[in-house]
Amino acid sequence: MTIAVGCLSFYDQSKPVVRDKQSLLPSFLEQSVVSTIALDAVVEYKFVSPRLVKEKDISSILERTIADGRYFVVYGAKGAGKSLLVDHATKGHSGIIKEKVTSITTKGDIVKSLANQCGIANEITPVIDDFVQALAKGASASKLLTVIFEVERGGTPDQAIGIQAVRSLAKEFATVSNCIIILSEANAVLEFGRDNTREKFIFIDGFTEVEARDYLERRRLSITESEITGVFARIGTSPAMLLDMNECVQNEGYTVERFVKEKLRIAHMELAAFPLKPILKALKEHPEGVSPDFFNNVECKGVDLSNPQAVGYAMKRSNAIVYRIENQKYQLLSKAHETALQAYEPIIVA
């Protein structure tokens, strides 16, 4: 459920009465409880797991009572289930404001979008301070309100501008509320990492094998134990990939082997499209990941390989590599890329 700040009201100069911009927000959000969650796509945890720990981390953010200026960035590989995990963590919580960001490029655009959700006339220009004051007024002794920005996938320069707008708003909102940013594109995280005191990162990985087995059992996918083991070993346990496999095998006539080979073919193409081959060569030797310092200011195609921001453009052009900002390593984006890389020989042109 997307809950907008639908009760914020702004000063309307055409009317003689000035309406309170913040008075209705607390009661509206207190009654608005997140309940519509795609639970079929989320593991109902029967055991302690890394994803459950991450979910509890997010739940603990929602339960904070004091705003300390920190905001939280949730990121990970495509298909890792980032949004679903956050949705699951917010289930049953009140006081949630959620906004999707695509090609919006300014803070004013984002605030206007929130205002439009509220049914506010377009000619009335909302003021950012109005939302900040409303969020502050909505806080109680027992909980803060929570703003969740979901930044959707995009490859244009506008997306970077939009992310900067979200960062700027997050800094303001985080002084009076909880603020969470979900990044659909893993390497969009490179737009962050410049403010260690405010920015905190939560990386969402694929399922563990136990979680993946539980997920496949609930989907009633009829495949053999050796096929399951082979899938996990060769292309991994991404929730979206497993859902795709279920659809292809159950409804489109794929064999498991055909599905695996198709995923490895795509991974191979993405590796070939990544232009900075020395990074691939290093990852082939160190699949656990390599630090930018490993390259000691070596350049490839005019790019300093020890500078993640400089490498970032190449990473965004290909879905093969991710920069893990919290442990400062380049890593392969998936198990499929790791498997494909073993059969791929990066050609380094001097």
Give tens-digit pLDDT for 6-37. Answer: 333 333 333 333 334 444 344 444 444 443 33
Range(s) of the domain holding residue 33: 25-203
Domain presence at residue 14: no
Domain presence at residue 4: no
Last residue of a domain, one of 227, 244, 268: 268
Domain shared by 285 and 224, yes or no: no
Q: 226-229: long-range contacts (C-beta < 8 A, 24 or more apart)?
A: 227/256, 227/257
Domain presence at residue 239: yes
Domain shared by 187 and 329, yes or no: no
Domain presence at residue 350: no
Last residue of a domain, one of 203, 223, 239: 203
Domain shared by 264 and 187, yes or no: no
Domain shared by 172 and 96, yes or no: yes
**Which residue has 């459950």 as its token pair?**
52
Q: What is the mean pLDDT of the chain?
A: 80
Domain shared by 298 and 264, yes or no: no
Please give the full DSSP string across 315-327, using - where no structure is assigned: HHHSTTEEEETTT
CATH of the domain at 98: 3.40.50
pTM reported for the whole predicted model = 0.80
Please give the full DSSP string across 31-50, using - where no structure is assigned: H-B-----GGGS---SS--H
Q: What is the pLDDT of residues 168-195, one digit of tens each?
A: 999 999 999 999 999 988 888 888 877 8
Domain presence at residue 260: yes
Predicted confidence at residue 88, as pLDDT, reads 85
- Mean pLDDT for 317-341 is 92
Domain shared by 108 and 239, yes or no: no
Contact in structure between 85 and 54 (CB atoms under 8 Å): yes
> Position 168: which residue type?
S
**Of the ranges 50-59, 108-117, 233-242, the best mean pLDDT one:** 233-242
CB-facing half-sphere around the CA of 281: CA atoms within 13 A = 12
Question: For residue 142, is pLDDT > 60?
Answer: yes
| Contacts of residue 259, Cβ cutoff 8 Å, sequence gap at least 6 | 244, 245, 248, 249
Domain shared by 48 and 129, yes or no: yes
Domain presence at residue 6: no
Domain presence at residue 61: yes
Q: What is the pLDDT of residues 311-326, one digit of tens each?
A: 988 887 788 999 999 8
Predicted confidence at residue 36, as pLDDT, reads 37
Other beta carbons within 10 Å of 25: 25
**Number of H-type helices and E-type strands within the chain:** 13, 9
Domain shared by 117 and 262, yes or no: no
Domain shared by 253 and 143, yes or no: no
Other beta carbons within 10 Å of 298: 11
* Pairing outcome for strands 321-324 and 329-332: antiparallel
Question: For residue 62, is pLDDT > 50?
Answer: yes
Domain shared by 235 and 142, yes or no: no
Contact in structure between 68 and 176 (CB atoms under 8 Å): no
Last residue of a domain, one of 184, 203, 222: 203
Contact in structure between 291 and 269 (CB atoms under 8 Å): no
Domain presence at residue 2: no
Q: What is the pLDDT of residues 256-310, one digit of tens each?
A: 999 999 999 999 999 999 999 999 999 999 999 999 999 998 999 999 999 998 9
> Position 141: which residue type?
A
Band of residue 138 on the pLDDT scale cut at 50, 70, 90 = confident
CA distance 350 to 348: 6
Domain shared by 263 and 283, yes or no: no
Question: How many domains, in total, are found in the chain?
Answer: 3
Contact in structure between 310 and 302 (CB atoms under 8 Å): no
Domain shared by 59 and 155, yes or no: yes
